[in-house]
Structure 1
Amino acid sequence: MRRALLALVPLIAVLFVSAREPSKSATAPAISPAARDRGVYRLATDAEARWIPFDLTPGNQIRFTMQLDGRDVTAILDTGVSYSLLAKASPALDTAKLVAGGSATAIGGSVALGWMPTRTIALGGLARIGGGVTVADLPAIATGSMSAVDLLVGADMLAGHALDIDYAAKRFRLLRSGRLPFKGETAPLRVSTERSVYESTITLGGRRLAPIVVDTGDGSSVTVTAAGWQAANLTALRTTSAISFGLAGPAVSGLAIVPEIRVGEMVAREAEVRIEPAGGFSQAIGTAGRIGSGFLQNYRVLLDPGARRMVFSRGPKADLPPPRSTSGLLIGIEKDRLKVLHVMRGGPAAAAGWKDGDLICSIDGVPIAADYATSPIAAWSAGAPGRIVTLGLCDGTVRRLELTHFY
């Protein structure tokens, strides 16, 4: 059974919202995180039976439907966000209630936040009365698809309970902390007091790296700082480059396939690792890196910071090698066309002169259709080495690209 290749085709989105001091440029007094109404949480007695179905966005995030103030909203499960975040463009935003809310550290820089009180929020068997959500721009690029979501559900909503994510069945549920609904390999987990997000540790190249943010909203696999990569002494591995998109813009990182990563008792082989440049996002927030949904989706995962553990049960994809690009192009989807978001260092596309921003309208003579992201044609970017792909650009020119291993 061949693993899906979608993680290589669209953009990957990563972001993080942190508790920051109120912005001095705000036109109204900001509500600091300490002063916010946290609301009252209630977990239904039948919560274990209330599975929430989801689909994975092209950027590998868990997307589902929930309720905010009695309205259905689309949401992403994001344990790398400190406070649940509502999109400014969402119909659920009540501008009459919106006040300044400080600022956030995100991929690409800093962003201004608002704050909106809420009456009720509900997902599965969990409900919150009162409280509120942070508010910021949340473009569609954050999911790798053409449609934006309304809400990022963060650690403030999730951390008081256990989160059981069954990636293979595309469903999750919330349980009382301490429950162990399946057997697996365990690793440490906590919600940090410094950043208010889920954190753990990994061992890479025999070196323990900590803290590592466990971020279901990050579509990539594993990300480490430049210092962590050097400490792991894996610099002999061939690397290329990749791009990620966050609330404050894009960020370019290194990319490699490593022989082994350990997360507690669990050993993952041939794992994809991104290497942030010195001074990058992880270093800026005082962490050693992130574990994203691109890694977690290979398992059934229990995240239970109250019990200080996460549990991994291997899924059907867990022992398969990760998909790797053979084209050297990272692509975003724009309706009836593909946009080159990044030309990977050392790849065949770079050697052939491809540029960021090039637009592709057909692959081997087949036009880009609305269902491109889930269609078999999307596998071309990580196809067999030696295959020659004919790519029709939207300006009418045609280019041939020979696929090859390059990292």
Structure 2
Amino acid sequence: MLALLLPVVALAQLQPATTLAPDTEARWIDFELTAYNQIRFAVELNGHASWAILDTGLSDTIVASRFARTAGLTPTRRQQALAIGGGVEVGWAETASVRFGGLTRTHGRVGIADPAGEIRFGADILVGADILSCCALDIDYDARRFRILSSGRMPFTGSTAPLRRRSPNGVYQSEVTVAGKRLKPIIVDTGDGGALTLGRTAWTSTGYRSARITTTLGWGMGGAVVTDTLVIPSLSLAGMPEREAEVRIEGEGGFSASVGAAGRLGTGMLQRYRVLLDPRAGRMILQPGKAVAAPFPRSTSGLLIELAGTALRVVHVMRYSPAAAGGWKAGEQICSADGVPVPEDVKDGAVEWTVGAPGRVVRLRLCDGTERSLTLADFY
């Protein structure tokens, strides 16, 4: 998933200024959720249109180097920054303007960085807390739209949790309750596609025990990260009744612990609500959405895959899964499932057999011409 970045640099010479249009409340911004649960929307930087990811877990707005050149951004200094998956080098540049919805931010800095590999999700800009925290952010996940409001506005009612910007990096932080244990600070990270990620110490403090723990793979700006994962029945947000949630558990010395946080609350959970994030007013408001009580999808294959041209590439094999028992390895490529070629199988954006009914036998043909059968099963 996308990184949460922690640079420590001098302030820009030209101080940023943010203005909201008089009709900003009417200026809804349509978005789509990427395959990794990021909010992708249209933005304009220095007069050049592109796609962006909304990322409250990112301290500073980041631009990919290829788009930075298009937008005429020239870095004046560089430094190392901490990110999920490892360190990254960031260059800093002055901008003329950033615009989306009713918001215009003039001057100020942006970082120029390329994550390990490339920026995924089809976006060139990661809009961070440096721009977003000026105002209230109303995200209507069910309608796939959001808008920027003046701080203090309450366009809908719901349950309230505390929200403030975390010093020194300025990302959003709140709290959650897991198995009756209140955990804080929890970074509220719209750029993280997971539901809830906890540091090892925070997880241990809940006293929750389950033998059904497997592994999963996420991505940060510094590279790939493997974590333990399980589904629990006991996550409470803003004092609301407990809900089911997928929890990822970072290893000792993981990112959350390294920045002094108990963990991160991501879009995998937030998308089940309508969400108002208003750090200046000190609150996060959650109104249950259509999917609030839906069970979390669980892999029954143990294969985490991504589309690679006309094939599916295995990027991770989950521990204790049918795929692990069958000897599957990361890097193997699948060209068809049950006789259906990959391009046809993924035309709607989903690969349903990876989370199919337990007991189903899937015939998979690898791109090297070999065939294997995989019997789906519950394993976490």
Q: Please confirm whether the aligned pair reaches a TM-score higher than 0.5, indicating the same fold.
A: yes
* Partner in structure 1 of residue 112 of structure 2: 135
Partner of 1:325: 299
Provide the residue aligned with 2:79 in structure 1.
Answer: 102
| SS of residue in 2 equivalent to 1:157 | helix
Specify whether residues 252 and 273 from structure 1 end up closer, same or farther in structure 2 by C-alpha distance, changes over 3 A only.
same
Are 2:245 and 1:264 aligned? no
Counterpart residue type for residue 388 of structure 1: V
Give the counterpart of 2:24 among 47, 50, 54.
47
Residues 88-127 of structure 1: matches in 2 within 5 Å? 88-90=65-67, 93=70, 97-127=74-104
Corresponding residue for residue 313 of structure 1: 287
State the AA in 1 paired with 2:373. Answer: R
CA RMSD of aligned residues (A): 1.7
Cα distance in 2, alignment partners of residues 370 and 103 from structure 1: 43
Cα distance in 2 between the residues matched to 1:64 and 1:298: 19
Structure 2 residue aligned with 1:23? none
Pair 1:354-2:328 in alignment:
yes
Deviation at 1:171, TM superposition (A): 0.5
After superposition, the C-alpha distances for 1:325-372 in whole angstroms (9 at most, x for unaligned) are: 100111112121111111000100000000111111111111111882
- Which amino acid in the other structure matches residue 109 of structure 2? G
Counterpart of 1:14, as a letter, is L
Residue pair 2:57, 2:189 contacting (<8 A) in 1 also: yes
- 2:138 pairs with 1:187: no
1:374 Cα deviation from its structure 2 partner? 3.0
Distance in 1 between residues matched to 2:245 and 2:4, nearest whole Å: 23
Query: Alignment partner of 1:294: what SS?
Result: helix
| Match in the other structure for 2:130 | 156
Structure 1 residue 142, shift from structure 2 partner: 4.7
Q: 1:281-300 residue pairs with structure 2 within 5 A?
A: 281-300=255-274
Which residue pairs with 1:18 in the alignment? 6
1:245 aligns with 2:222: no
2: distance between equivalents of 1:265 and 1:72? Answer: 41
- Given the alignment, which residue of 39, 59, 62 partners 2:36? 59
Alignment equivalent of 2:142, drawn from 168, 182, 188: 168
CA shift at 1:39, angstroms? 1.0
Distance 1:268 1:51 in 2: 31
Aligned to 1:364: 338
Q: Give me the TM-score of the superposition, normalised by structure 2.
A: 0.96
Runs of 4+ in 1 over 6 A off after TM superposition: none
Classify 1:96/1:328 alpha carbon distance in 2 versus 1 (closer, same or farther; 3 Å).
Answer: closer
- Runs of at least 5 residues in structure 2 that lack an aligned partner in the other structure: none
User: Is the Cα contact below 8 Å between 1:61 and 1:77 reproduced in 2?
Assistant: yes
**SS class of match (1:89):** helix
Determine if the alignment matches structure 1 residue 392 to structure 2 residue 365.
yes
Preserved CA contact (<8 Å) 1:43 1:126: yes
State the match for 1:69 in structure 2: 46
Q: CA deviation at 1:35?
A: 4.2
| Alpha-carbon distance between aligned partners in 2 of 1:211 and 1:356, rounded to the nearest angstrom | 34
Residue in 1 aligned with 2:375? 402
- 2:204 corresponds in structure 1 to 230
Distance 1:153 1:371 in 2: 33
Change (3 A) 1:154 1:33: farther
SS, match of residue 330 in structure 1:
strand
Shift of residue 194, structure 1, vs aligned partner: 2.2
In structure 1, how many angstroms separate the alpha carbons of the residues matched to 2:317 and 2:243? 26
* Structure 1 residue 276, shift from structure 2 partner: 0.4
- 2: CA distance, partners of 1:369 / 1:141: 23
- How far 1:19 sits from its partner (Å)? 2.3
* SS of equivalent residue, structure 2 residue 157: coil
**What TM-score do you get using the length of structure 1 for normalisation?**
0.90
1:313 Cα deviation from its structure 2 partner: 1.0
Distance 2:208 2:336 in 1: 38
Q: C-alpha separation between the residues in 2 aligned to 1:48 and 1:110?
A: 38
Are the structure 2 counterparts of residues 194 and 370 from structure 1 closer, same or farther at C-alpha, using a change threshold of 3 Å? farther
Q: Distance in 1 between matches of 2:73 and 2:376?
A: 54
For the Cα contact (< 8 Å) 1:103–1:111, is it kept in 2?
Answer: yes
State the 1:317 CA deviation: 0.8
Please report how far the alpha carbon of residue 180 of structure 1 lies from its aligned counterpart in structure 2 after TM superposition: 0.7
Read off the aligned partner of 2:108 and give its amino acid letter.
G
The unaligned stretches of length 5 or more in structure 1 are: 1-12, 21-31
